[in-house]
Every structure is written in C-alpha cells, then in structure tokens.
Structure 1
Amino acid sequence: MIPVARISAAIEILDDIIDRRRPAADALKDWGLAHRFAGSKDRRAIGDLVFDALRHRSSSAFAAGGEDGRAVVLGLFRLHRGRSIEDVEAAIRGERFAPAPLDEAERAALSEDRMASAPEWVRGDYPEWLAPQLHRIFGEDVIAEMQALAMPAPLDLRVNTLKAEPDRVAAELASELGRVPERPALSPLCLRLPLEPERGEPHIASTESFLKGHIEIQDLGSQLAAELAGAQSGTQVLDLCAGGGGKTLALAAAMGNHGQIFAHDSDRRRLAPIHDRLARAGVRNVQVRTPKPGSDVLDDLEGRMDLVLVDAPCTGTGTWRRNPDAKWRIRPGSLGDRNKDQDLVLATAARYVKPGGRLAYITCSMLEEENSDRIAAFLAAHSAYVVRPPAALVDAFESQAMITVGGAMRPLETGLLMTPRMSGTDGFFLSVLERRG
C-alpha cells in the first residue's frame, strides 16, 4: 500500500471506532479481514497510526476543528508530529486512494494555535467528564500527568528468579532479539525493551527465554505492586482475583516456592491460562482454586491467610498508554459499578485474613474514587484493620531489594500511587491493611 492509502485506512478505522464505540483491536481486525491485500507492514503501520491518533484524540481533533477520524489524523500530524501545513497537504494530496485535500476550514484551524485556549481535558487528552476526578488526585499537575499517560509504553519483562537471574536473561534476550534490554532503577528483576517503532514490538512468547520460563511479560508497576505487598517465604497467601496469574507468579518467586499460595478468580475463563504459566515458570507452591457452581471452594481458608491479595476490578485508567481506546469508551456509570465491585471484593477478602495478617488492595487506576475512597469505606466498616504506613512499605522493599524507589512513588494517607510521569510505569495504587484482631 502507498502511504496515502494507509492514511485513508486509518481514517476509516478511526471513524468505525468513534461511531460504534468499538475496541480498536476489533476494528483493526475487521478491517484486515476485509482488506486481505494489505501486508503485515501495512497493517502494522496503519495500527500504529490508529493507536497514536487515539492517544491524542481530543487534542488532535480540537486542533483540526472537527470530531471525526479525519480531524483526528490531520490534527495528529500538525500538533503531535510537528508537520507544517504544507507537509500535511503533501501527505494527503489527491493521489488515488488518498484522503480529500484540505478544505479552507481545515486549513484555517490547522494554522491557528488552538491549544492556547483549549480546556485542560483537551490538552491532557482525557474524557471531559473525568476532569473533576483527575483534578482531585493530580491538581495542577493533571495535564502533565495525563500527557505522560498518552505516551506509548515500553515492553517490561519480569525475570523469574525460580529459574534464572537477571544478567543471564539480559544476555539471552540481547542475543535472541538483537536488542539490549534496559535495567530500570526501580527493580533489579525488570528488563525493559524500549520502543523501536521501525522494528515493531518483538514477539516475546516465541523466544527461548520465555519458553523456558525465564521471563514473564509484566509492567514494572505491576511487578512493584506485587513485591510491595510483602509476601514472605513460608506463609499462606490467597490471590483472590488472580486472573491469568501474573501477580501469582510474582508472589511465588518472591516466596522462593516456599509456603502456599491459593489462586482464585470468580471467572474461571480468566483463570484458565494460569495452569500453563505455572508449569512453565517452575512454580510448585500454588494451588489453583477454580470456582464451581453451588460450591464455596475457599471456605476452608477463612481466617487462615497471612496475606490476601486483591487485584481489584477497576476502570483501568492507569493502563491507558497501552489501551488508548479504552479511555474514550469509559462511561460515568462504569465508575459507580466498579466501586460496588471493589467494596464487595474487599469485604470478601477480609473473611480470609487471620489476626495479624495483611490485606493488600491493588488497582490499575489512579482515581481516588477507586483507591483511597474504597479503603476509607472499608475501614469504616472493619474496625479491626489499620493502614500500614506507605513509608513502611517502601522501607521494607528498599532494604530487601537494596534499591531506592520512594521518590518514584507518591505516598497517600492510604497507600502508594505510581504513574507514568512519576515512576515510568503504568498507573497503579497499592494499599496494605493489617488486621489487629
């Protein structure tokens, strides 16, 4: 496909996403099935353009004076890719398969500095209805924080210490991929593959390092949240919302395969991948408790757990740099729905914590409504629990890992917040509660 045809395709796909409120992956897949002549390089280039446009959808559309896919692409070229008006016109000029030339209104809009008068939610590229919630947590930093969240994310890997050590795995990957992984300062176990748009994202699942269980794909923020939860070797741990098992595997490695982890999720389909992942990683201290109709598969664990980990269902605002289309599909009602789910799962988790034990609450959200507010509501209903001071969590992790992380995490009264701007991770919140009686 010629370059202008890729631009036309991206506009078509964006219109489909905007008009039908579809996940970007579904729209891209359907377009590919309907245009089988497009090669892999074409599809990758179109996908990159679509996702880049979605990251900056609000500001790009505002810059071009429109709302549809065409306005988003034109504004992206002008505002975020630094193209002159002449360059934009040249990029879409009337060849076959090209978008229509700029009209006078578009040319006028793209010639203005429209961002100078744009509201915060436009400059920060987030939904207007979320402005009060995001301003509540970030205040005057909201635009900078949200602009950081609109940037593409690197590929983070966690070294599985049950089978390998970081230096060895870094050398393996450099040999296999021809890329030298970075070593983020916040974790000795994270290997980061920076973005190389011209080469695309490597297929990690086909590498020997992955197949041998030496690594798992996991954002650094998720890795840190699991580590900061403080699972100790030889203890009893329940991962209540285990999903596919990412944090379960991290906990097992932190515990050195000693003690017992019970992995559960209310949705057996989400839990299904965990079995193969446990086997590949060499994990031996995990019992998977798959839900069964009419049966409480966790009733024997009540009041027995040293640690209960709750990776709570949430709006996923912290993952927008990986899922930029999700921020435009979220609706006000979904926040209230997630709050109900979070309150329920916290109350459920409390059943399994023994006196002196801990409850770790994690979300991939940055909204206080899903984080501190939920902890406050839980504490009001459960007087036996207190918040473990965030400084104590950081100190314990730093002394064990022999690194400094405190400056990259924002301490709140109820826990710790990580964001792309502060920590170079996805957005995560962690609160650890202690049961005193």
Structure 2
Amino acid sequence: MIPVARISAAIEVLDDIIGRRRPAADALKDWGLSHRFAGSKDRRAIGDLVFDALRHKSSSGFAAGGEDGRAMVLGLLRLHRGLSVAEVEARIAGDRFAPAPLSAEERAALSEDRIASAPQWVQGDYPEWLAPNLSRVFGDSVVEEMQALAESAPLDLRVNTLKAEPDHAARELASELGRQAERPALSPLCLRLPLEPERGEPHIASTETFLRGHIEIQDLGSQLASEFAGARAGMQVLDLCAGGGGKTLALAAAMGNHGQIFAHDSDRRRLAPIHDRLARAGVRNVQVRTPRPATDVLDDLEHRMDLVLVDAPCTGTGTWRRNPDAKWRIRPSSLADRNRDQDLVLETAARYVKTSGRLVYITCSVLEEENSDRVSAFLAAHSGFEPVPPGEIVDAFEREAMITVGAAVRRLDLGLMMTPRMSGTDGFFVSVLKRRV
C-alpha cells in the first residue's frame, strides 16, 4: 500500500472505533481480515497511525476542528508529527485512494495555534469528565503529567536473577536483537528497549534469552512495585490477584526461591498462563491455588501470611501509554465498579495477614479514588492495621538495591506513586499496611 492509502485506512479504522465504541485491536483485526492484500508493514503502519491518533485524540481533533477519524489524523500530522499545512495537504493527495482534499475550514483550523487556549483536558488528552479527578492528583502539573501519559511506552524487561545476571542477560539480548538495551537508573534488573518505529517492536518471546527464562516482559513500574512489597527469603506470601503471574515471578526472584508463595486469582482463566511461566523461570517456591466451585482454596492460609500482595483490579489509567483507546472507553460507572471490587479484595486480603505481617495494595491507576481513598476507607474499618510510612519503604529499597530514587517516586501520605513524567514508568500506586494485632 502507498502511504496515502494507509492514511485512508487509518481514518476508516478510527471511525469504526468511534462509531462502535470498540477496542482498537478488534477494529484493526477486522480491517485486516477484510483487506487481506495489506502486508505486515502496511498493517503495522496503519496500527501506528491509529494508536497515535488515539493517544492524542482530543488535541488532534481540536487542532483540526472535528471529532471524527479524519480530524484526528489531520490534527495528528499537524500537531504531533510537526507537518506544515502544505505538507499535510501533500500527504493526503495524489491518489484515487486518498482522503478528500482539505476543506477551507480544515485549512483554517490547522493554520491556527488553537491548542494554546484549549482546555486542560484537550491539552493533556484525557476525558473531560475525569478533569476534576486528575487535577486532584496532579494539581498545576496535570497537563504535563497527562501529556507524558499520552506518549508511547518503551519495552521494559526484568532480568530473572534465578537464572541470569543483568550484564550477561543484556549481552545475550544485544547479540540476538542487534541492538543495545538501556539500563534505567531506578533498577539494576531492568533492560529497556527504546521505541524504534521504523523497526517495530521486537518479538521478545521468540528469543533464546526469553525462552531460557533469563528475562520477563514487565514494565519498570511493575518491577518497582514488586520490590517495594519487601518480599524476602523465608517468608510466607500470598499473591491474591496473581493473574498471569508477573509479580509472582518477581517476588519469587526477590526471595531466591526460599520460603513459600501462594498464587491465586478469582478468575482461573487469568491464572492459566502462570504454570508455563513458572517452569520457564525456574521458580520452585510457588504453589498455585486455582479456584474451585464451592471450595475455599485459601482457608488454610488465614492469619498465616507474612505478606499479602493485592494487585487490585482497577481502571488501568496508569497504562494509557500502552492502551490509549481504553481512556476513551472508561465511564464513571466503571470507576464506581472498580471501587467496589477494590474494597472487597482488601477486605478479603486482611483475613490472611498475620500479626506483624504486611498487606501491600497496588494499582496501575493514578486516580486517588482507586488509591489513597481505598486505603483510607480500609484503615477506617480496620483499626488493627497501620500504614508503613512511604519514606520508610523507599529507604529500605534504596539500601537493598543501592540506588537513589530521589524525586522519581512521589511520596504520598498513604503510599507511593510512579508516573511516566516522574519515573519513566507506567502509572502505579503502592501502599504498604502493617497489621499490629
């Protein structure tokens, strides 16, 4: 396909996403099935256009004076890819598959600096209804924080210390991929592959480094959240919402395979991939507790755990770099539903924490309603728990990892927050609570 045809295809897919309010991946898949002549490079280029337009949906549409797929693409080319109006016109012209030429209204809109006077939710590319919620978290920095959350994310990998050393894994990966991974300052175990749009994202799961269990795909923020939990060799640990096992694997490595981790999830389908991942990573101290009908598979763990990890269900606002279409599908009812889920899972988790044990609450959300508010409500109802000061959590991590976190991790009253702007990670919240009695 020629470039102009890719632009037309992206507009078509975006209109489908907007009109049917469906996930971008589904719309792109359906477009590919009905246009089988499009090659892999064409599909990747169209997907890049679609996802970039969704990242910047509000600002791009505002710049072009519209809200449909065409306005999003025109505004993206002008505002975020730095093309002049003449270059935008040239980019969409010259072929029978090209979009219609710019109208006088579109040309006038693209010629103006409309963003400077736009509302904050337009400048920051987030849903208007969430403006009060996000301003509550970020205050005067909300636009800068949300613009960072609208950028593309790098690919982060965690070195599995049960099988490899970071330097060795980095050399292995460089040999296989022909490119060097960066080493973010916040972690000795993270290998980061920056974006290279012209090459596309490497298929890490097919590399020998991955297949031998030397690395796992995991955002640096998720890695740090696992470290802040403070799992150590010999502990009894329950990962209550283990899902596919990403944090379970990180906890097992931190414990050096000593002690016991119980991995559970209420949805057995989410838990299914964990078995193969544990085997590949060489993890030997995890017992998977798969849910069974009419059976409490965790009843023998009550009040026995040194550490209970709650990777809570949430709206995923912290992952918008990776799932840009999700931010336009979130609704107030979704937030209310997740709040109920979070309160329930915290209530459940408290049953398993022993006296002097810790309950670690993690979300990939930046909303106070899912973070500090939920912890505050839990503490109000459970006087036997108290928050571990966030500074104490950071100090312990810095001593162990021999790293200075500085301002990269924001210390709140009831927990820690990471964001793309501050820490170069997805958005995460971590709160550690200790059981006194």
* TM-score of the superposed pair, with normalisation by structure 2: 1.00
- The offset of 1:94, in angstroms, is 4.3
Equivalences for residues 56-71 of structure 1 within 5 A: 56-71=56-71
* SS at structure 1 position matched to 2:158: strand
The number of residue pairs the alignment matches comes to 437
* SS at structure 2 position matched to 1:354: strand
Matched with 2:280 is 280
What do residues 409-428 of structure 1 show as CA deviations (whole Å, max 9, x unaligned)?
Answer: 00000000000000000000
Q: Distance in 2 between matches of 1:105 and 1:334?
A: 37
* SS at structure 2 position matched to 1:62: helix
Matched with 1:360 is 360
Q: Distance in 1 between matches of 2:269 and 2:193?
A: 30
Q: Distance in 1 between matches of 2:406 and 2:435?
A: 25
Specify the code of the residue in structure 2 equivalent to 1:202: P
Matched with 1:33 is 33
Specify the code of the residue in structure 1 equivalent to 2:134: L
* SS at structure 2 position matched to 1:348: helix
| C-alpha contact 1:362 1:430 (8 A) present in aligned 2 | yes
Matched with 1:243 is 243
What do residues 76-106 of structure 1 show as CA deviations (whole Å, max 9, x unaligned)?
Answer: 0111111111001001114111000001111
| C-alpha contact 1:180 1:193 (8 A) present in aligned 2 | yes
Equivalences for residues 91-102 of structure 1 within 5 A: 91-102=91-102
Equivalences for residues 32-431 of structure 1 within 5 A: 32-431=32-431
Q: Quote the sequence identity (%).
A: 83
* SS at structure 2 position matched to 1:284: coil
* SS at structure 1 position matched to 2:181: coil
Specify the code of the residue in structure 1 equivalent to 2:227: E
Q: Distance in 2 between matches of 1:95 and 1:227?
A: 54
What do residues 372-409 of structure 1 show as CA deviations (whole Å, max 9, x unaligned)?
Answer: 00000000000000000000000000000111113210
- The offset of 1:116, in angstroms, is 2.0
Specify the code of the residue in structure 1 equivalent to 2:114: R
* TM-score of the superposed pair, with normalisation by structure 1: 1.00
* SS at structure 1 position matched to 2:7: helix
Hey, which bits of structure 1, 4+ residues long, moved more than 4 A? none
Q: Distance in 2 between matches of 1:376 and 1:118?
A: 35
| C-alpha contact 1:394 1:406 (8 A) present in aligned 2 | no
Specify the code of the residue in structure 1 equivalent to 2:321: R
| C-alpha contact 1:94 1:101 (8 A) present in aligned 2 | no
Q: Distance in 1 between matches of 2:195 and 2:259?
A: 38
Q: Distance in 2 between matches of 1:99 and 1:215?
A: 44
* SS at structure 1 position matched to 2:167: helix
Q: Distance in 2 between matches of 1:123 and 1:408?
A: 24
Q: Distance in 2 between matches of 1:94 and 1:342?
A: 54
| C-alpha contact 1:134 1:367 (8 A) present in aligned 2 | yes
1:17 and 2:17 are equivalent in the alignment: yes
Q: Distance in 2 between matches of 1:219 and 1:106?
A: 39
Q: Distance in 2 between matches of 1:158 and 1:407?
A: 22
Q: Distance in 1 between matches of 2:405 and 2:427?
A: 15
Specify the code of the residue in structure 1 equivalent to 2:138: F
| C-alpha contact 1:314 1:365 (8 A) present in aligned 2 | yes
Which stretches in structure 2 are left out of the alignment for 5+ residues? none
What do residues 92-137 of structure 1 show as CA deviations (whole Å, max 9, x unaligned)?
Answer: 1141110000011111111111112210000000000000000000
Specify the code of the residue in structure 1 equivalent to 2:348: T
Q: Distance in 2 between matches of 1:50 and 1:317?
A: 19
Q: Distance in 2 between matches of 1:78 and 1:363?
A: 35
Q: Distance in 1 between matches of 2:428 and 2:339?
A: 16
* SS at structure 1 position matched to 2:82: coil
What do residues 6-30 of structure 1 show as CA deviations (whole Å, max 9, x unaligned)?
Answer: 0000000000011111111111000
Which shows bigger deviation, 113-122 or 426-435?
113-122
* SS at structure 2 position matched to 1:335: helix
* SS at structure 1 position matched to 2:261: strand
